[in-house]
Amino acid sequence: METFKTVDEIKAFAEDHGSKFFSREAMRFFNSRLSRGTYGANGEIFITSERFDETTPRRYTVRMIHTPTASIEDVSKFQEFATLDEAKKYVKEFYQ
């Protein structure tokens, strides 16, 4: 099983395994950003934020990368959290 210390390591692993999740096009389309920090026993949990357009607020989703497939799964509801602090609290409650 892989261990990730940074979101850059998650991103590199996913790209090396053919995932388009972090591609420039996908990130731009969903207006996505990656929050710093990894969580979980192996650093497999991370947080993204998205907003649909310039008029909507940014919201946060907790996600997990699976090894060895590099598939990405939402572990919270998509855009469940209004703030990064709420997403981090969820992670700490369930994955730390």
The ranges assigned to domains in the chain are 7-95
Residues contacting residue 55 through CB under 8 Å, at least 6 positions apart? none
Q: 80, 60 in Cβ contact below 8 A? A: yes
Q: 10, 4 in Cβ contact below 8 A? A: yes
Helix-then-strand count for the chain, H and E: 3, 4
Structure-model confidence comparison of residues 96 and 73, the more confident one: 73
Q: pLDDT digits over 63-76, tens only?
A: 999 999 999 999 99
Q: With the C-alpha atoms ordered 82, 87, 35, 30, is the resulting torsion angle positive or negative?
A: negative
Does pLDDT of 45 surpass 80?
yes
